[in-house]
Amino acid sequence: MNRDLNQTECDHLEALVDSCSIGSVLIVLTEICIAKGEHVESNWQDKPLARRWNKLGDAIDAVASKADGL
């Protein structure tokens, strides 16, 4: 089900970091995690999984604030 990124995907991600910033990419990942948490809770009523997604979003957000200026 889950897999690692392939080289093309890694190259695209690096290009996003280069053209925007690591902080911008991390902020989008934060938003994706929170949206996934909301989706899981509202559509699957799986509160533990939703909490995991939200906690991950919070953790990435904390890192994003440290990446300012990179």
What backbone phi and psi angles, to 5 degrees, belong to 67? -90, 5
**pTM for this predicted structure:** 0.91
pLDDT at 68 over 90: no
**Burial of 47 from C-beta contacts in 10 A (0-12 / 13-18 / 19+):** exposed
State percent of the chain over pLDDT 90. Answer: 94
Nearest Cα to 50, choosing from 38, 66, 61, 62?
Answer: 38
The tokens of 33 are what?
């995690």
Nearest Cα to 50, choosing from 36, 67, 62?
Answer: 36
